[in-house]
Chain A
């Protein structure tokens, strides 16, 4: 059932992550296609966020190799890089399960911080910027344009000058994605982007993700519980349970995989209906 990918943006090989006696990720291997939306799913505690933290450098894996492949053929071994170099050099950006915005800064400022490295070089590491050299001004204008572009795509333009923590939950999620996109990533890792969104907002999120894949040439790796999002937009799904990969394939394949149904839902669909029925009866009597 191994899903072969010709042109991966990311390959994970034999990844192991151990916390004390707990093996949170157990010999996990998978790859994500360059322009694919790859979903990582599994029950709570399956080790999904740990995998993310290994990919984005917040944890150093106990064993294994994580490689980012750029189009020119360059390879980056992510498990050996400092965390901040992963978005900077290997171009892998991420968002967080419990949104991490710069709350006291405005939406626009958040997006400008996302372009820090570009602007830093343009300002000659501050020395050019402090004397107002024109090179920096041009770069700042471009950065502003990119920020405006992403505000438009996420519908946040009208809130550009408001503090990030002033935004409602759904808009904060979008802002976090927009900010990650400002780093111009090749791979965008989203940790439960639809959590806490209402159906309309999650529909908008689907559109945004499809747009990012299509227009911006960016691969997406996401952890998600919302099956509407997962089944609706993913090209490729990997299922984890207790740190192990139990399935890997297209949404169609995953939907029909009995081991996924058993692990993920605990019980089969028919049984769910049965249980629901019993509950309703119990409530009415």
Chain B
């Protein structure tokens, strides 16, 4: 009951009508400039040059929607006196929620793991869901890999997809030219990607945060352009096809006598391979997670986090920051390399199309939205983003637009990501999570 009296004591909603009206007029003008120009008119090819089609109705609806939306925001969110949350949640519920969230946080990881392990055997799991979860797991793995670079070491990498591409092409080319099997190529792909990480990292890691970001972006583009134009070696835009599928440790998934189904006394089904793929990527992702968690508790992992917090202090303590950065870059690159060779074997076909900048942006968005440095956050963000992508599959054209908007909105809503507390790597008496405001996000200095 105390909450009731509290809220009634506060000043109520108040709408400053002239101000709102002025704001709405400005909004309408801006919306007209933006949508009136690009939606209302569209250039089309016509005889002897270009013609123009008009869609004033659509433009009008969009502008009206923007104005009405803003009015609704005024009425429901911005009518409160400054400094108060837009939507009130009673303190009791708030603390209860925090309590529940904290307990959920503890069991969330193990619960997810159990679900992931039994998922292929659940009654409703069909081929579509399996394919989707393989995709999600691939992004979870990539997110965990990039988390080492961005989340732990605080180095902004916008060209992460390059390592993914190197992994995929390493496997495809090694299989094509030398007939290596998947199990031989997997470690090689990781090593090659890590090696490239070191080669690239050595000159550029001295750069400050956003310079580093742009150089890594340029590196990603260079790799893609080379893959696209080196026709003889990489197949250029046609890509590489006929990449061998993985075997069950030497036993192929086919109908034959020495096939997987025959040997294990099962009826042949094409789903076996999909299930195997599922467990393969799950295992790879879990290895990534395990290694990352392990590294965090070792001096190298602590050095990564220290680097994110303050590079100058690191140097004053005798840390060779160049090698600290290189190891982060190489480790992150290695996991992308593993994921890349998995991608190649799953698709059976790769081309430079799959390794565009958007892919890097997607992985980075997963890491940042999940909460940098948080392993669980990456899982949630992957499910939300990739799952969300699937939901909007129907709206093919609009889904990238929605993806971009979601990136902006979520970032403004939670700049620190969904899960932003940091768990210390070592403790004396009790493990206390460090609140997000304390944790620096790496200025790259």
Contact = CB atoms under 8 A, between A and B. Distances in A.
A–B proximity contact (CB within 8 A):
yes
A85 B424 contact: no
5 contacts: A108-B426, A112-B299, A117-B318, A148-B428, A165-B438
A129 B426 contact: no
Contact of A105 (B312, B424, B428, B430): B424
A112 B432 CA distance: 17
A116 B319 contact: yes
B429 A161 contact: yes
Contacts of B298: 119, 123, 126, 129-130, 136
A85 B323 CA distance: 13
B318 A87 contact: yes
A65 interface: no
Contacts of A105: 302, 305-306, 309, 424, 434
B313 A102 contact: yes
Contact of A130 (B291, B305, B308): B291
A125 B434 CA distance: 28
Contacts of B425: 109
B309 A103 contact: yes
Contacts of A23: none
B426 A102 contact: no
Interface in A103-161: 103-106, 108-109, 112-117, 119-120, 123, 125-126, 129-130, 136, 144, 148, 157, 160-161
Interface of A: 56-58, 82-88, 93-96, 100-106, 108-109, 112-117, 119-120, 123, 125-126, 129-130, 136, 144, 148, 157, 160-166, 179-180, 183
Contacts of A93: 316-317
Interface in B403-429: 422, 424-429
Contacts of B299: 112, 115-116, 119-120, 123, 126, 129
B428 A84 contact: no
B153 to A, nearest CB: 13
A101 B312 CA distance: 10
Contacts of B434: 104-106, 163
Contacts of A112: 299, 302, 426
B427 A84 contact: no
A116 B302 contact: yes
Interface in B287-329: 291, 294-295, 298-300, 302-303, 305-306, 308-310, 312-321, 327
B213 interface: no
B319 A113 contact: yes
A235 B430 CA distance: 42
Interface centre among B295, B427, B438 (most CB of A within 10 A): B438
A113 B438 contact: no
Contacts of A113: 302-303, 306, 314, 317, 319
B316 A100 contact: yes
Contacts of B354: none
A52 to B, nearest CB: 11
